[in-house]
Structure 1
């Protein structure tokens, strides 16, 4: 057999046939695409006859001197450059180097990327009110969508209240969606943007308008960013507190899920409190069946956890992975060692949380304080094999008294006093946090029932 030939097996023939069919399909797809493009072009050409002259052909500006005048807010130069409707509606084109993955080279390469915007958007985003007014007087289209956004989107995103007021006064649409599907109200994501939000609502912005993709309302956005004043404003304008986004989450879910930084704990607490006072339902589960309590526990936010429990949050409900709020709190211990995660665990146990699965103890290996609270909720210490190996040697040495006391109690009877504590807490159940205070016991015994930290077990 010649070296230039080979045997055509059945699998080879099938592969060749599939490849040929794929190529034929690709040729048909390209032909159909060209036909559609041709029809669109003809339609656009015919419709352009009825459009104003300035709309027929976009004019692009790449002059750095013009760009500089706009970005610096140089009013005299802006006035000298933009003298009529045609110049006021120029498309400003900039080129920037961006890292793009090259499959051919197998590495990231700097690639020039063109970006388009308008003179009105540039000046509105930077708060150059006089420049914005001049452009509008020269005929700049107030709702022109260039680069995916209108000028009103940019002024609100950059909390430029005076420019926002001016644009709205010239008829800007407060409900226009950007290419990303966001209305100006969805872009009010900072405390400084509150005046912009107020202006938008005064000029007819829809307080319950949803983003196109995620179906999030402005209330969702404000709750996500921990903006208490925005939440108060939207509720005053009739925001639907029960609105659920595409993943089924309410604003309360969004707020509890986003409170992941200890330094922001105070403002998220205020948002959650306001939403609950307005009637938010603590039982609604969102993504992956996470309730607000699951989210708050995942962020080790003690005050929010307490607040949710006070409003009837279910402490033993499971998410789609089978985890309860206690499980979520344990999994977050390593990330929040400085946030007193033991307080979250103790609070959940005081509200009737079921005993922690011993398999979950490995997640609190870095926190002896959490371990102490959890182990004191048991009436006996079982095998420690599931977590002992996860304790770093330096942590063990630092808290050796605690770990030694635990190992000594493995499979050993706990003192009668501790067993009595377990029995009383079990009897009180979810009323444990209230019932202990109602018991006619000395304060020292009441404290003992609340699982105080001693640094050792006995």
Structure 2
């Protein structure tokens, strides 16, 4: 039907053009395949062997491909053999020299094909020309296909083009990963949607590591990717070769309260989908161990509210509280009192007095930990660890704590401990439901007051 007799939309015209190009390309491919079969049938076994691909280091070819110069690409790649040539690049990389005892620049050769270069850089028109000249869509020269690289760089238009012309959505790289494994940035979400629409297997695990796309997205805190994969049937119970679930990966990938908020939202999605908060992975680390080691109080509270065990021990015998104490030293720029309060509210035991020194320079965190005791224990170890300038800044708190060492605490504090002991690991849930003023609820949940009484 003529365009002037029917109101075609731009998307319809685009689809028709792509279909026409595809048919033209398919006709050429079939003709070339028929010619190749005819040639093999007339040739001897030796002369009928497939010729090796050409290898190219020509700077002109490199410049055309890496800059996306369409005119030059059209001039240089005019047949199937040229479109499938191997492009070699040499880059200098630092490598350790055992003989010389220092790092040296070592040339390293990398091989790829023109289509992969164009797709990785988003040169859609160049990629289209190469495809029309017979470029192999699923060639893995260099380890990855053009679709892998397009997804890794979030080149949506190139992903769409490759899938339209028949690139395999489930194609594996040499590392055994699908293109979906390489959707690792927020910008790659639309690429992931296209792959899923094209039939990619969402639970296909990478060879050897058994990592699924859900593991990858969870480890990077990509909440919307995780939600998308779950909608398409991703299995939250699948484990890697190290025994890690996606929830383990999400909690291990968090680094401090800031980035941890993304991982907290991701973990919430996984928990709502049925992820086990007690599933231990490598070295018997549970998701809670990982969250505490990263210093993520909000993430730890989320796991605890879904049934994570505050007293679980990993392979080294460490509890989540031990991991939190270590995190105070490794990542000091956060609010450890939030994490300590959450652990204590869900049944964690008070820390050993000799461990208080790790929090000596965090007055708010130290106050939370001291308020878990019926009597402030002897404090020589932590008093010596306090920096002089910090003591001066928070003298009221430190002096009050020092004056209460081995002294009876107020009846109000003892009553608080009695209530907390009675409700045990359900402290936070029970206290929030009690018909009490909010100020009293906060007191029961170890509210920071700036002094020990």
Measured after TM superposition, the shift of residue 102 of structure 1 is 1.1
CA-to-aligned-CA distance 1:198-242 (integer Å, 9 cap, x gap): 221222211111111321101111111111221122112111111
Cα distance change on mapping 1:78 and 1:447 into 2, 3 Å: closer
What corresponds to 2:420 in structure 1? 425
Equivalent position to 1:137, from 132, 135, 139: 132
Equivalent position to 1:246, from 224, 236, 241: 241
**2:189 is the counterpart of 1:182:** no
For residues 151 and 271 of structure 1, what CA distance do their matches in structure 2 show? 29
**2:316 is the counterpart of 1:340:** no
For residues 233 and 436 of structure 2, what CA distance do their matches in structure 1 show? 49
Cα distance change on mapping 1:330 and 1:49 into 2, 3 Å: farther
**2:168 is the counterpart of 1:173:** yes
> Secondary structure at 1:387's aligned position in 2?
helix
Would the aligned equivalents of 2:256 and 2:331 in 1 still touch at CA under 8 Å?
no
For residues 424 and 47 of structure 2, what CA distance do their matches in structure 1 show? 74
Would the aligned equivalents of 2:296 and 2:339 in 1 still touch at CA under 8 Å?
yes
What corresponds to 1:213 in structure 2? 208
- Give the root-mean-square deviation of aligned CA atoms: 2.2
Would the aligned equivalents of 1:98 and 1:112 in 2 still touch at CA under 8 Å?
yes
Measured after TM superposition, the shift of residue 293 of structure 1 is 1.4
Would the aligned equivalents of 1:334 and 1:366 in 2 still touch at CA under 8 Å?
no
What corresponds to 1:201 in structure 2? 196
For residues 443 and 360 of structure 1, what CA distance do their matches in structure 2 show? 32
Cα distance change on mapping 1:49 and 1:182 into 2, 3 Å: farther
Cα distance change on mapping 1:162 and 1:442 into 2, 3 Å: closer
Measured after TM superposition, the shift of residue 444 of structure 1 is 4.5
**2:270 is the counterpart of 1:275:** yes
What corresponds to 1:231 in structure 2? 226
**Within 5 A, what are the aligned runs for 1:102-117?**
102-117=97-112
Cα distance change on mapping 1:422 and 1:76 into 2, 3 Å: same
For residues 104 and 202 of structure 1, what CA distance do their matches in structure 2 show? 53
Equivalent position to 2:409, from 404, 409, 414: 414
Measured after TM superposition, the shift of residue 338 of structure 1 is 4.2
> Secondary structure at 2:316's aligned position in 1?
coil
Cα distance change on mapping 1:321 and 1:358 into 2, 3 Å: farther
For residues 253 and 49 of structure 1, what CA distance do their matches in structure 2 show? 59
Measured after TM superposition, the shift of residue 386 of structure 1 is 3.3
Q: Give the total of aligned pairs.
A: 411
Would the aligned equivalents of 1:383 and 1:410 in 2 still touch at CA under 8 Å?
yes
For residues 202 and 46 of structure 2, what CA distance do their matches in structure 1 show? 34
For residues 400 and 448 of structure 1, what CA distance do their matches in structure 2 show? 22
Measured after TM superposition, the shift of residue 374 of structure 1 is 0.2
**2:357 is the counterpart of 1:362:** yes
**Ranges in structure 1 where 5+ consecutive residues have no aligned partner:** 1-47
**2:369 is the counterpart of 1:374:** yes
Would the aligned equivalents of 2:256 and 2:295 in 1 still touch at CA under 8 Å?
no
> Secondary structure at 2:380's aligned position in 1?
coil
**2:95 is the counterpart of 1:76:** no
What corresponds to 1:317 in structure 2? 312
Measured after TM superposition, the shift of residue 344 of structure 1 is 1.4
What corresponds to 2:21 in structure 1? none
What corresponds to 1:403 in structure 2? 398
TM-score between both structures, scaled by the size of structure 2:
0.85
For residues 168 and 53 of structure 1, what CA distance do their matches in structure 2 show? 32
For residues 265 and 53 of structure 1, what CA distance do their matches in structure 2 show? 60
What corresponds to 1:120 in structure 2? 115
CA-to-aligned-CA distance 1:129-180 (integer Å, 9 cap, x gap): 1111111111111111111111111111011122112222333222222222
**Ranges in structure 2 where 5+ consecutive residues have no aligned partner:** 1-42
Would the aligned equivalents of 1:54 and 1:85 in 2 still touch at CA under 8 Å?
no
For residues 107 and 309 of structure 2, what CA distance do their matches in structure 1 show? 53
**2:447 is the counterpart of 1:455:** no
> Secondary structure at 1:360's aligned position in 2?
helix
**2:345 is the counterpart of 1:353:** no
CA-to-aligned-CA distance 1:281-323 (integer Å, 9 cap, x gap): 1110111211111112222222222221221111111111222
For residues 321 and 44 of structure 2, what CA distance do their matches in structure 1 show? 67
- Range with greater deviation from structure 2 (347-356 or 274-283): 347-356
